[in-house]
Structures are given as structure tokens and as C-alpha cells.
Structure 1
Amino acid sequence: MRSTLVTLATALIVAAALEEPQQVLSSAPQCPIDIPISCTNSTPIVNSCCFESPGGMLLQTQFWNYNPAFGPDDEFTIHGLWPDRCDGTYDQFCRSELQVSGRQIKDIVVNKFKDQKLYDGLKTTWKSNKGDDDDINFWAYEFNKHATCLSTILPTCYGAFKDGENVYDYFSVVYELFENLPTYKWLGDAGIVPSNTQTYTKKQIADALSSKFGEEVYFNCDHNHAINEIHYFHHIRGSLLQRNFIPLPAKPITHDNKACPNEGIKFPPKGSRGPQPTHTRPGEPGPVPTGTPSAGYIRLEDHAGCLISNGHWFTSGTCATYHFIDLQYGGTSIKSTKGYCGFDDKGQFTCNRSIDGSKFHFSVKEGNVGYGGKFDWCLNKKGSTGEGPYKQTPVILADGKCESFKLYVETR
């Protein structure tokens, strides 16, 4: 009788285990306990599977989408987990062979790793601004742009890699980290709750979040002065799979121009519209254009001439008209008559029909053109072609070793 009960108990345990999500632990890299914290090493780390680099500053980002409203009324939503470089710049779309579609993500999480609970959690809290049907496409965009730049979840880091394991792990880690950073609750604990009439100071919000997180938290506002995004900065010790996140004081976001005012910050309930301000310069009655220009010339600060249609600097002839196209999930594509613009294998800004515009997300801040958080550029004189008035010179992102300048948009 006793053996029968033991057998029955064992069977019940096994059955219960089969109903749980598949745990992905056995093939994770075994990292030494004394591995340095990311961004703090003084010498190169050989094992990149145990040391997140070059993106050693990890940002867990959240949205407050109130108009239109997305996600639960009492939760911020996930924006992503971004591996920024230690200086605040960032890489994007690092490894094309690791990119996935939204349908593949759903199949990996639900069918291959049997984690319906994780999928349901993601569907609730990781929302696209294009509607529920687009959620999985937003996840794919975030994975392809950011997760492919993570060094510690490359397939080669696993002892017995299962197809899609890195994808499952990324979304599992992001969701778990998000659950441990309950922004809405932390604000509510400090008396900061959604309201159509009440406003808050920057200090109130900053103190509410930092007292829970343990470090300064970055947050920004939209054009209504309403809080709309939170960034939690971390370093990490070891592999991403070890989840050893270390809170870090917020760093300046060089590619962001949506700073909150010191007073009068709104926290609108989801579904509310809020007041619509008029953007004017002092003494001018008309509206001031905001956002990315639709078209214009690209000129070099303190240099004659401009960029021509292939992306090179030219001092003679006619400037090319560039078009700036806001992308679905953020960032801007740039296009000339030659095609979309990006970078060639030498790191030179170039525009031609072979460039995939969806893979190069530029920023335009206060009229200046940037990429990956960098807004300083240099001339690559070694890549110049032609002579005299016909000379063309490529531009590259500054590396700190050249005379730099800004690229700015002159609207037509």
C-alpha cells in the first residue's frame, strides 16, 4: 500500500511538472562568482558569455500610454530591455541571423517552451501602440533591435542550445525584471496617482521612484507635460540569465528631448485626453514646428557645402533634399533620391537602393542628426573621391580621435 502511495505521489509530481513552463537552466553558462560587474572592468574579459559587453548598461524601459490607452489602468507597460554601451551610446540590429518574427516568438514561448503564463503576461503588459494584433510585432522589433546585441545569450553561450532558447530567455528575463519594478505601485505609495486635475513636481516623482529603486530613476514627459516613460538603469554581474541586476543612477539620455518641467507634471488616467498646449516662441503668435522635419538639406556645422544624395559632403553644386520618415516604433529613417540612408562596411554614412531603411534608426534632436545616441560626426578624408570642386568626402560618426561637428537639418 505504501509503495502504491509513493508511486501515485511521484506520478502527481511529474504530471504537475509537465504542466509548468519548461525551465531553461541546465544549458546556461556557468560563470565564476568573481566576474566583474559590467562596465567596471579594467582589463578585457575573455568570456563574453559571462560578461555583458559592449552593452553593459541595461535599461528597463516602461510606458504610460494614456491617450490612446494601452495596457491595464493600474500598470505601466513594457517598452523593452536595452543594452546601452557604458558611455550611453548604443548599438542596434547587431546580428541579422538572430532576428525573429512576432509569430516565431509566440511559437517559441507557447509551443516550444510551453509557457502560456509568460505569453499571457507579455500580451497584457507589453503593448504596441498599433493595437492588440500588433503586440507580437512590437516584441519582434525590440528583440531584433536590442536583444541581438546582447553578448551573454548568444546561441554559442549555451551548453546544449535548444532552438529559440535565447528568444525565450530574453522575454522571460525582461518580464521578470518588469514585475520587480512596479512603477505604478511605487508612485501610488507616495500619493502620486492618476488625476485629471492634480499635478506633481519633478522632485516628488523622482523621490518616489528612487526611494524604492535605490538609485535615481530617469523619466520623461510628452508635449502635455504628462509623464509617459520610465528608464531604470542597471549594470549586471555575469550572464543575463543569472538575473543579477545592479541598480545604477540614471544617466542623461542624449538622444531624448522630452524632459519634464520642474512643476506641473501631469499623470493622466488612461483614456483621458488632457489639455493640449500651444507651442510658441516668446513674442511670436504662431506655432513652432515640433518633432522631426519632413524634408530638408543636411549641412555640416562650421563647414561650407552640404550632403549630396549619396550621403557625401560636397562644397560645389546643389544640396540634396533629404526626407525624414518617423518609424512605427520610434526612430527616423532618412532617404534621398538615391535610396534609404545607413552605413557601409567602413562606417560611412551612405544612401543607395541597397540600404534597408528599417535597419537604420536615426534621431533628429533640435535639428541635429544622430545615430545610436551619438550626434558628433567627422569627415573620413581617406575615403574622399574626386579632386578640386568635384571632391566628395564621406562622413562618419566621431570616435573621439577626429575633429568633430554636428550634422543639422536646414528645412526648405
Structure 2
Amino acid sequence: MKSKCSILIHIVLLQCLVVLVASQGFDFFYFVQQWPGSYCDTEQSCCYPTTGKPAADFGIHGLWPNYNDGSYPSNCDPNSPFSPSEISDLQSSMQRSWPTLACPSSDGQQFWSHEWEKHGTCSESVLDQHAYFESALGLKQKVNLLQALTSSGITPGGSYSLTSIKDAITDAVGYTPWIECNKDSSGNSQLYQIYLCVDTSGSDLIKCPVFPHGACSSEIEFPSF
């Protein structure tokens, strides 16, 4: 009996260790910002948040733990649900910098809940819920993508080479971004999301160990919003 109990204890401890390692181990973050004009002018369209139309600026999509091989952890801790009370002091900043554009219109809670439960829980060993959202907001302040582009003559409403967009951001932040495109309702390729890489503390930009898959056209639109 003692032998069986000992084996069971070891199995349980091993399972706990596997879960712990899976939830704590990651190599870097993708910090992803999206252009609202490109979210809204697709066939699917968009809905403005209940707080009103967001500013014509890049908004946060997420801060996503990743591995150097290109894979990523997700939904690491089902026992750590999103709690609005944990970030009540950040809510006005999040409504401004991390707005939802999904339909139907909402106040953003569902969007933030998804980001925390899918991605944020996988960084809990480093960032608790408040620190996770606060870190993303801090990165948004540090990385002004719209200013980087407009300072190089790249303004909403025009069409630009993918290279010129990458170069403008690289010159401004010191690191090469990855650009994700989508298509407008007419099927034209356009600037949708910009990825930069961040160290595991969630505070400092780093050179990306790996980029996601996919490619944009050599010339892409930067739609107005």
C-alpha cells in the first residue's frame, strides 16, 4: 500500500511540475499593435466601443508570450480568470490605448478577458494580471508607431512600399518589426498589425528571435480611419 501511495504521489508531483513548467516557460513576447482603419474597412467591418470611436492611432492587440521556435503557450491557467477589479485603475488608459472594435459594441472587458486568459496567464510567473496590462500600456507609450511613420512621410490615406514602412519603424525604435497585412473590402492589401519583440520582463524591446509566418504585398495601403 505504501509503495502504491508513493507512486501516486510521485505521479501527481510530476504532473504538477509539467503544468508549472508549461505555464512559466517562454522566451519572449510579441507586442502587437493594430491599425483601426484596416480592421474596420474589411468586408466584416467593425463596431466602435460603447465609449465612442477610438482615436486614429494604433491600438494594442496584445502582449503574447512566445517560444524561440515560433510556437507559443496559451490558456495556461484556467484558475486565473480575468478580474476587472484588478485593473480598475488602468481602465481609462485601456479604453484609450487598447480599444475593442469587435461587434457587437462593448466596453472592452471581453477583449481584455480573452487576452489575459489566452496569453497573459502564460506569463504569470513574471507578470500578475495588473502588471501584465500595465506593461502593455507602458510599451504603447514607449513605441509611438504612428509618429514613427508620419515622421517619415507615411500617413493614413496613402499607399506605400512595405520596405519604407519597415525602415521607418526600425529607424524610430531600433528594431525591425514584422508587418501583418489584411485585405480591404475590395481585396487590396493593407497595413493591419505591427509586431515588435519584448524581453520576458515585458519592458524592453529586443531583436525578434523569430517572425510569424505570412507575407504582405510589396506595396500596401495605409487606410484612413
Matched with 2:5 is none
Secondary structure of 1:96's counterpart equals coil
Whole-angstrom CA distance in 2 between matches of 1:225 and 1:126: 24
Q: Go from structure 1 to structure 2 and tell me whether the alpha carbon gap of 1:132 and 1:172 turns closer, same or farther (over 3 Å shift).
A: farther
Structure 1 residue corresponding to 2:222, chosen from 267, 282, 297: 267
Whole-angstrom CA distance in 2 between matches of 1:54 and 1:233: 16
Matched with 2:26 is 55
Secondary structure of 1:80's counterpart equals strand
Q: Go from structure 1 to structure 2 and tell me whether the alpha carbon gap of 1:64 and 1:74 turns closer, same or farther (over 3 Å shift).
A: same
Whole-angstrom CA distance in 1 between matches of 2:34 and 2:104: 15
Preserved CA contact (<8 Å) 1:187 1:193: yes
Secondary structure of 1:211's counterpart equals helix
Structure 1 residue ranges, 4+ long, deviating more than 4 angstroms after superposition = none
Preserved CA contact (<8 Å) 2:32 2:63: yes
Alpha-carbon shift at residue 193 of structure 1 (Å): 0.4
Secondary structure of 2:206's counterpart equals strand
Residue by residue over 1:375-408, the C-alpha shift from the partner in whole angstroms, topping out at 9 and shown as x without a partner, is xxxxxxxxxxxxxxxxxxxxxxxxxxxxxxxxxx
The size of the alignment, in residue pairs, is: 188
Question: Which residues of structure 2 form unaligned runs of 5+?
Answer: 1-19, 41-45
Matched with 2:58 is 76
Whole-angstrom CA distance in 2 between matches of 1:228 and 1:126: 15
Residue by residue over 1:260-293, the C-alpha shift from the partner in whole angstroms, topping out at 9 and shown as x without a partner, is 1112x100101xxxxxxxxxxxxxxxxxxxxxxx
CA RMSD of aligned residues (A): 2.2
Greater per-residue helix proportion: 2
Whole-angstrom CA distance in 2 between matches of 1:53 and 1:213: 28
More relative contact order, 1 or 2 (CA 8 Å, 6+ apart): 2
Preserved CA contact (<8 Å) 1:77 1:127: yes
Alpha-carbon shift at residue 170 of structure 1 (Å): 1.2
Matched with 1:228 is 192
Q: What amino acid sits opposite 1:225 in the alignment?
A: S
Preserved CA contact (<8 Å) 1:215 1:247: yes
* TM-score, with structure 2 as normaliser: 0.76
Are 1:109 and 2:83 an aligned pair? no
Secondary structure of 1:260's counterpart equals coil
Structure 1 residue corresponding to 2:138, chosen from 176, 199, 202: 176
Q: What amino acid sits opposite 1:231 in the alignment?
A: Y
Which has the larger Rg? 1
* TM-score, with structure 1 as normaliser: 0.43
Whole-angstrom CA distance in 1 between matches of 2:86 and 2:55: 29
